Amino acid sequence: MKKTTTLEIVQTALFAALVAVLAFVPYVGYIRIPVLAIQATTVHIPVIVGSIALGPKRGAILGGIFGLTSLINNTATPGLTSFVFSPFVEIGDGMGGSPLSLIICFIPRILVGVVPYYVYTALQKHSKNPEKRRKFSLLISGVAGSMTNTILVMSLIFVIFGHEYAAAREIAYEAILGVILSTIAINGTIEAIVAALITSAVVFALYKSKFIKSKNI
């Protein structure tokens, strides 16, 4: 029991360290795109891998760390729309921040550490030949984890800060839904493809190296 517990702690700590490194090395984990006033994200990839390899509980912990790095980054180096991720960044001049930003910052990221595990196990469970379907299941799980982040973050921004987000972007509120959908379609698709390919390759490599011993992989 001690060996298993120690191994789990080490595995989780290593994944958490990878999330932190990606998050705090400039232009690696959060890649700002000033023209679109958004950040392309790669920090979610080790969270997705951790979800599948380590299970949903530890995946949720990694997702929480992902959210924490987003909070720190947007507070320390705020951008045009950082107020949607940090309650410490003013929405407008003298308006202060909103605690509702913590919902956007943490809930989608925690779910990134949960959804891929259940998508993967469901696909494998209902497959007639799990061995042959494994790569496909991993690819779809990577897409699911990445899109969970993109869709939930952008949807919550629209619901909670729609007017403020439009003002920060200097666009009409009536046009904000189109901007949200285009971000999901373009940015989300690119991130999902990258996440799917890396997730599949890394999970296989970890399993072959015996770093993980999951019954599901």
Beta bridge partners of 38: 33
Question: What distance in Å separates the CA atoms of residue 199 and residue 209, rounded to the nearest whole number?
Answer: 15
Cα-based distances in Å from 11 to 23, 114, 125, 149, 186: 18, 17, 25, 23, 33
Domains: count for the chain: 1
pLDDT in tens, 16-38: 999 999 999 877 777 666 555 55
| Amino acid code (one letter) for 83 | F
Task: Quote the domain boundaries for residue 56.
Answer: 2-208
Give the per-residue pLDDT at 88: 96
107-135 average pLDDT score = 91
142: amino acid identity, one letter: G
Tell me the per-residue pLDDT of 148-193, one tens digit each, with 9 for 90 and over.
999 999 999 999 999 999 999 999 999 999 999 998 998 899 899 9
Has residue 179 been placed in a domain? yes
Chain centroid to Cα 123, Å, comes to 21
Residue 215 lies in a domain: no
CATH number at residue 120: 1.10.1760.20
Q: What is the pLDDT of residue 127?
A: 82
This prediction's pTM: 0.90
